[in-house]
Every structure is written in C-alpha cells, then in structure tokens.
Structure 1
Amino acid sequence: MSDPIKLLFLLFLLLTSACARAQKDNTAAARRPNIIFILSDDHAYQAISAYGCKLVQTPNIDRIARGGALFRNALVGNSICGPSRATFITGKYSHMNGFKLNDTTRFDASQQLFPRILQQNGYQTAWIGKWHLNSLPQGFDYFRILPGQGDYYNPDFIEKGGHTTRDTGYVTDLITQSSIGWLQHRDTTQPFFLVVGHKATHREWLPDLQDLGAYDSIDFPLPPNFQDDYKGRVAAKDQDMTIEKTMRLKEDLKVHADYGRGPIYNRFTPGQLKTFRDYYEGKVSRDFDQLQPKGETLVRWKYQRYLKDYLSTARSLDRNIGALLDYLDQSGLAKNTVVVYASDQGFYLGEHGWFDKRFIYEESLKTSFLIRYPGVIKPGTTFNYLMVNIDWAPTMLDIAGVSVPADIQGQSFLPLLKGDTANWRKAAYYHYYEFPQPHHVYPHFGIRTEKYTLVHFYGPTDSWELYDLGKDPGEMHNVYQDKAYAQIADSLKHQLRILAARYKDEEAVKLMER
C-alpha cells in the first residue's frame, strides 16, 4: 500500500472512530432523563386525594403518584416560602445558604446552585413562575419569573435580561402556558431541567373565575383539634395565625372587599372584575349579611369560606398540572422525563384553629412530594422514610448522572427509588427563625423521628416540647415533663445535638450548651 493510500486509510479510520464516539455520546446524552420539578406554594398535603383527602379530588396530581411514588414523610427544614426555595436549589439549610427569613434579604444566587451544576453538565435549565428570592435567578438558560409574590390576575413577569411584561389571564394558566411554550422551543439536542413555580395556593386565595363557588355545596367538617386550647404549649398559645382572630374578612375572605382600591383588584380587566365581584358581592357578602354570624358561628363561617377559596384555588393548580402532563404524553417526552410535584412546605387547614405554616408541627413540617420516573420507579409506590428538602438537590443531580458536591448537606434518595433502603436517615433536623412578624411564631429548632418530635423554642421563651406521634398524631399533649418519657427526651436531645453539629448550626449548638 503506497504512502498516500496509507495516509488516507488512517484518516478514514480516525474519522470513523470519531463519528462512532460522537454517535455514542449523543445516544448517551439522549438517555439522560429530562426533569420537570413542579413547585407549588402552601399547598397542604391534606388537600391532595393521593394523600387520603376525602374532601376533594386532585386527579392530575394523583396521576404522578399512580405512575411513580409518593413520600408520606417528606419534610422541610424551615417551613416558610423563600427559605424553602433557597434550600431546594442549594441543598443546604437556611443558616448555610444565608436565606433564613421571608423578608427583603437578597438571596445570593451566585453561590453554588444545583441547576447551575446541571447547566455546566449539558442540561438546558429554566425556571418559570414564582421564584420569590428577592434576586434574579442564576444558573438558568431561561427564566420568566413573577416579581415577589406575584399576582393571581394579569401578573407581571420578569424575563432573563430584566425585561418585564404583563400577561392577561390567570396566573396558574399563564405559568403552564409559558412552561409548555418553552418546552416546544427548547434545544432538543440537550436534556432539560425545568422548574414550574406556581403561585397557588398562597394567601389571599383568589380562585380562577371558572372555579368560583366550586365547593359551595360542601360543608367541610372541622378538624378534630380545631378548638385547641394550647394547654402546656407556650408557643402555640402565643402565636398570631388563627382563623378566629388573624384571618381577615375583607382581605382574605372578600367580604365587601375594596374593589376600587389597592393593587389586587386594580389589575383586573372590567370583565374579570364583574364576574369576580358578582360572586363575592352577590353571594358571599350577601350570605354573610343575612346570617350576621358572631362568636363561634362566625369562626365556623370563616373556616368554611377559607376552605372553599383555598380548595377552589387548588382546583386550577391540579387542572394545569393535568395540562402539562397531557403535553408530555402527546409530545412523547413522558417516556424520558422525571416529573416531580412538591409544595414549598405544608399548610394548616384549620388544624389547631390555624392557617399558615412555620411550626415544626406535622401539618407545616410535612409537605407533598410525588415523583414519576419511568422505568425506574415502580408505579404506585409509597415511601414512609423521612426525607427532607435538603435532599431534593442531590437527588436531581444523581438522577442526571452528575456528581454531588461534598458541601451539599442533603442526601440523594435515588437509591431509595431503586429499592436500596440501607443507611437512610432515622431523624430529620428543623430550624425556624422568623419572629415576631408576621405571625408571632417563636423561633425554634428540633428533631423529628419516626415516632417522636422534640422541639426547643427560644427567644422570648425558653421551652421544650415532646410529642409521641403514635399516641398523639394531632400533637395536643406535650409530654416533655412526663417522667415516663424522660429517657426518650434525653435520647432525642442527644440526637438533636449531633444533628445541629453535623449541619454546622452554631446558633443551635450554643443554645443547647446553655
């Protein structure tokens, strides 16, 4: 073989080998799963039928559970909106990521965020909807976010580059439409990670026009501990988040609302406002005036109106999740797309007489978390293991086949999804900071195990509480001073010290040394 022919032959082999490697790389990239993380706001797990709710049905959220897995003990490390989101994207507790409070603090988005790590490893990344971190997202190829809390009707959106636009319509519909639009126009040569951040079901619970009155025919039963007297629980007694005293008739429940004033109703189109006002003035306010409820009757009336508005707002959320899931099915993306549905934390639907969140108690500590991963998760699986939102970031990285940085405090639960339950956590850590505004909940930190919750309230108070969740799931009886639980309390305190130190919570460590 002559030298020129040899050279051509070698070049042919090199090109063939390079093409084969490129094809192999593209095939491997195609197998990397896409990830859609749907994150709602204040959506209580008690309001989801997959979690056993008998009051309403959430057929589309339930689709994720039927096709994948549901976590019954998905917990948060700080039950409040902005800090929960900061924990989600950093995989670190609030004291480590610098965002402890729902105030005007600007979240440092230049720090290590798992979406940026995905981006650096070949994923297209996007965040659409509620961000709520007082800064602009980083580590995303695209974003279209609500300013602050955002508005339910005709909301503004900030797009990458800082440009602000106002869309006409209902916020949950608009976020879904923008999400599907991005999916349709993305770079199809790359896997993607998309956060769909919904505003629903945040206060003041403005339902979509088509959902007004959806549950007016239902008389919702009071939770068993609705009339809690908070005996033996200093912090629970001294809060400001009751339906009776804190929930506002005009602003929250729209009884004779100020339609001509304020930033909420000024955003409505004339047609939207007429439909909305016809319902709340023509029915809700009229019924209130006719009944003129007082005392216990008024409290019960407020509870009914609260649930009707809250659940009607959630109705649109479920419907839109269905629209997104339908698009994935119709486009063929469902086969290789992991879908997660979660809320930023739990919420009270009248338990202890409350709305809102914040406390380490079950209804705000626990959040919904459902995940569908075709070919990996057996459909209809239920997990009872303790999982915390610091675990979300490392799990998303693990699913994408990306190494998890050592300083991320969470633990990937991908092994759980694959059936490996060894070496999983037996206890979860919690620390809440925001005091005194807006709901006067004392700062506290604590530990939740399978059977018990131990919590230390500090600041204006210095008190401990212990709950036996097996005997007292409603957390009505603080048994910290009960001698029968002395050994359990000591053991839990020891575990709490270990966790505070492990997670480098120096404030909690010092408080326990006093």
Structure 2
Amino acid sequence: MNRTFFSAFIIGMVVGLGNIAFAATAPNIVFMMCDDMGWGDTGFNGNKIIKTPNLDRMAEGGAVLNHFYSVGPVCSPTRASFLTGRHYWRLGIWKANQGHLPQEEYTIARMLKAEGYTTGHFGKWHLGTLSKTMSAKGAARKPEINYAPPWDRDYDESFVAESAIRTWNPTEGKQYQNNPYFENGIVATENLKGCDSRILMDRAIPFIQTAVKEDKPFVAVVWFHAPHEEVEAGPEYLKMYEGHGEAAHYYGCITAVDDQVGRLRSELEQLGVADNTALFFCSDNGPEGSEPKDRSKTRRAGRTGGFSGRKRSLHEGGVRVPALALWPGHITPGSKIDVPMSVLDYLPTVCAMAGAGLCEQRVLDGENILPILVGGKLEHTKPIPFRHGNNACLVQGKFKLIIESSNDASKDHLFDLSKDRKESHNVLKQYPEKAQKMRAEILAFLKSAKNSHSGAEYDVAGYKPVDYWHKLGAKKSKAKKKKTNVTMQAAAKVN
C-alpha cells in the first residue's frame, strides 16, 4: 500500500520561498466548468469546426492540461470532488442526483472564506436539493434529506439551478419544472431569457465587480450548463453553423460559453485585476450519447478526441476532459502539460496559491499541482482513483488499471495510455507486478473511502450517511434489495 496516497495532505514549499510569495499576493480565482463537453470539443484541442477563440487565447496565455481528468464520469460525483479534493465515493455521491455535499466537508469556499475571500457560485449546482419540498427529480430525490444549497455551504453569493436546464431560454425548457434558478436562496424571476451562459455570467460579473470595489480577494465558481441536454443554441449561434444540421445547436452553445469566457476576461482587464486572477477551465465528464455516425442528425455531437468511451464510462473518453490553467506571471504562456492531473487537485493547489490552511482531519485524494503548472515537476505523486458502478480504476503515470471485483482479478485490465489511446490492448500479462501493486492500491483506497463515508473524519457524534456503502462487485439486485429494506438510521451499518 502506498501510504502517502491515503495520508493527510501537508503543504510543502513550491520552490524555495516561492509559496510565501504566492500567498502574499492573495490571488483572485475563477473556476469555470462546462457540462458534458468532450475532450475534442475545443479549438485548443484540435477541433476545426467549433469556434472557441477565447478559450484558445486562454490556452495561449497559460497552460493546456492534455491529461486532465474529471474523475467522475457523470455530473454530481465530479462536482463533489472538485470542491473538496476528495473522491466522491468518500461523500456518498455515487452518481448524478444521488446523495449531497455533506455540511461537514471542508470545501474550497470554506477554506478561502477563512482567508478573507468573498465566495460566489454561479450556474449548475447538482450537489443536493435547493428546496426541502421540491426537486427536479421529484420525491425520489428526497429533497428534505438531501437539502444542501450553496448559501448553506459557505458561499456569500449564488445563482444556481439544482440540475441541468435548457441552454437557451431556460425557463421554457421541460427541465426547468421544479428546477428554477435560485438567487441567494430566493427563486429568481428577472433576466432569465436568451442564452443561459450569458444569464449566469450576468450574475458572476457583478459579484466580481463588488469584490474589487470592496478590495476583497474573490473566488468565483462558474459552472455552465452547456452543452448538456436540453441543447439549444440561439439564432445568432445557429447562423454560425449553418449546414451542420442538428449539431449546430451543440456547436453553437459551446461558442456561446466561449463568448462569456471572453466577456469575463475583458471585465477582469477593465477592473485592473487580470494579472492577479488565476483562471481554471475544464469539463465535468465526457460527451453524452454514443458516438454519432452522422453528427448533422443529432444534438449529441460531442467529440472525445479519439479516446474510447463517453459519458458514464471510466474509459478515457468518459473522464478525460479539456482543461486549461492560466495565472499571469506564474504559469508559462503556451505551455502544454502531459502529466496526469484531475479536479481532485484543485483544492490543495488553491490552498498553496492562497497560503490557506487545510483541515488536518480530512484525507485528500488530490495534491498540490502548482509545481507542475509553474514548471519543474514532471510527475503527479499520488495515483488518481475512479469508481463508477461495479468498476474501480486507478491512473498512475502512463498506466491505468480497471477492476470489476475486489477478490477476482481475472477480469482486470491494465492499459499503457502512452501507447494505447483507445484502451484496446490489455498489457496486464506484460506488467504483472505493476498490475498487482495498483490493484492493492485500489482496494486500499476503497477501504479508506468506506471509512470516510461512515463519517469517521467528521468528529460528529452519531453521524449517519444518507445511503449505505456500495460494495465493489455487488449484484445490482442485491444492492437494490438492501436499499429498500434498510432504514436511514441503520444505513451506515450495512456493507
């Protein structure tokens, strides 16, 4: 077992006294994330159709993270790991619209708020319900039990919807039913027409303007809904992609996001804070649907860039996503970084950038990647864990191991990602010792995650998770039977 993988994270110096210099500047931070965007859906990753000039300029001014993982192959799990630096399996967020962000978790917002930052979240939430009586998914979502809004999770300002909504005229889409925008805890009624990406940026920019006026460092989390279904582009964007049929809607809503990225950067320049603001961009998982034979006939037109798998898969196309990092004066412009990294790394990295403190009681699965981003370090120290359904996975350097059972290794698959983009060649027999070691690390991670899920790190008397632990390799029918027969009070005791 790699003990450092599961030990509590301790901040180290970046280079000499560099970390002290970073902390003294109190950089502003903006996190942007698209929803269901594929690795191959941007210009900076080689797309020749979809226009993303502002993201491409961001890539030119910072770093393209060529080997970046969402960690979750669906929405909610990625978002949980994004904000906490901890694997979603520790939090009981097994899949989309299940579980919620526990109040006890130590998040980016909580960490930076303690350092004097003002905090804002805009766009999709998907980490619990926003009402105790209403949910986009109905009574099955258990809105009272899973109530976990951003205004109760250390955000000073928020403009959020519980889950996905239409990307154009959102209030007119079927997904808006019981899923309205909440603005600081109150259902929003103004400025809800037109481009959804513009609507949420209309809230994020005033938040930033106020922070600058009050001379406060800020962290803004901007989670776009595009290009998640319901995919619909506005007239001006459809015109850009005439001749592409239904795919024009998909392409257009990505360009709409790109326009808002450009708008944000222009505002930062006008406010005089661009040089002291770090920007991060990624997607929450791979593109929706199967690989289309004819993109002109579908709005599920996302591209994985040739990787195998799509959304809901632990293969690269489901979890390897487009990503950028820009921090003027620190990250070398035009960098292309091939080191594996993930959303798990955001919290410890921002901690180092801001000179913040960490919660020593929390086991982190991510690490501070600042030494990689600024140059000098060429490897990610911790292996990157994944879990979805009855598959668990680990990426370590160029190798990726996928297992289906905790006690049967006969169906394990080991891939050399440096040579096998499509994960079509199982090299387990060539590297048996490597596979054995990685399998042991996966099982150790799952054991550690089970301990976290029970609430062992929260120091809360009588803590009970809202759902039972999902054992690797358990039959679905058995799991469903357990869920039906076990009360909430006894859930933590069920294996």
For residues 28 and 103 of structure 1, what CA distance do their matches in structure 2 show?
37
Alpha-carbon shift at residue 467 of structure 1 (Å): 3.3
Q: What are the ranges of 5 or more consecutive residues in structure 1 without an aligned counterpart?
A: 1-26, 219-283, 285-304, 434-442
* Residue 474 of structure 1, aligned match among 411, 416, 422: 422
Instruction: Trace 1:39-438 onto structure 2 (pairs within 5 A).
Output: 39-134=33-128, 135-137=148-150, 138-152=153-167, 153-155=169-171, 156-166=180-190, 167-186=192-211, 188-217=214-243, 305=246, 307-347=247-287, 351=291, 357-406=311-360, 407=362, 408-421=364-377, 424-425=380-381, 427-433=383-389
CA contact 1:47–1:53 (8 Å) conserved in 2? yes
Question: Is residue 429–residue 500 contact of structure 1 (8 Å, CA) maintained in 2?
Answer: no
Change (3 A) 1:330 1:97: same
Shift of 1:342: 1.3
Provide the rounded CA distance (Å) in 1 between the counterparts of 2:203 and 2:77. Answer: 25
In the TM superposition, what whole-angstrom CA distance separates every residue of 1:234-291 from its partner, at most 9, and x where no partner exists?
A: xxxxxxxxxxxxxxxxxxxxxxxxxxxxxxxxxxxxxxxxxxxxxxxxxx6xxxxxxx
Match of 2:412 among 464, 469, 476: 464
2:306 equivalent in structure 1: none
**Identity across aligned pairs (percent)?**
26
Question: Is the radius of gyration larger for structure 1 or structure 2?
Answer: 1
Q: CA deviation at 1:310?
A: 1.6
The letter for the 2-side match of 1:50 is F
CA distance in structure 2 between the partners assigned to 1:163 and 1:377 by the alignment: 40
Give 1:326 deviation, angstroms. 1.2
Q: Letter of the aligned partner of 1:157 in structure 2?
A: Y
CA distance in 2, matches of 1:321, 1:330: 14
Secondary structure at the counterpart of residue 40 of structure 2: helix
Task: Report the RMSD for the aligned CA atoms in angstroms.
Answer: 2.9
Shift of 1:458: 5.4
**TM-fit CA distance, 1:191:** 0.5
Q: TM-score, normalised by structure 1?
A: 0.68
1:493 aligned residue = 436
* 1:109–1:346 Cα change, 3 Å: farther
Give deviations 1:96-152, integer Å, cap 9, x for gaps.
122122134333244221211110111110101111112301111111112322333
- Going from structure 1 to structure 2, the CA distance change for 1:382 and 1:509 (only over 3 Å counts) comes to farther
Where do 1:2-13 residues align within 5 Å?
A: none
Unpaired segments ≥5 residues, structure 2: 1-20, 129-147, 172-179, 294-299, 303-309, 451-468, 475-495
CA contact (8 A) 1:119 1:125 kept: yes
Instruction: Show CA shifts across 1:420-465 (max 9, x none).
Output: 31663374221113xxxxxxxxx31112344333212359x98333
Query: Which SS does the other structure have where 1:486 is aligned?
Result: coil
CA contact (8 A) 1:29 1:190 kept: no
Could you tell me how far 1:339 is from its partner in structure 2? 1.0
Counterpart of 1:233 in structure 2 is none
Aligned partner letter, 1:393: L
CA distance in structure 1 between the aligned counterparts of 2:443 and 2:66, rounded to whole angstroms: 24
CA contact (8 A) 2:69 2:320 kept: yes
Distance 1:107 1:204, change over 3 A: same
More helix by share: 1
- Cα deviation, 1:353-373, whole Å, max 9, x if unaligned, reads 797502121111211221110
TM-score (norm 2): 0.71
| Number of positions where the alignment pairs a residue of Structure 1 with one of Structure 2 | 385
| In 2, Cα distance between equivalents of 1:30 and 1:188 | 18
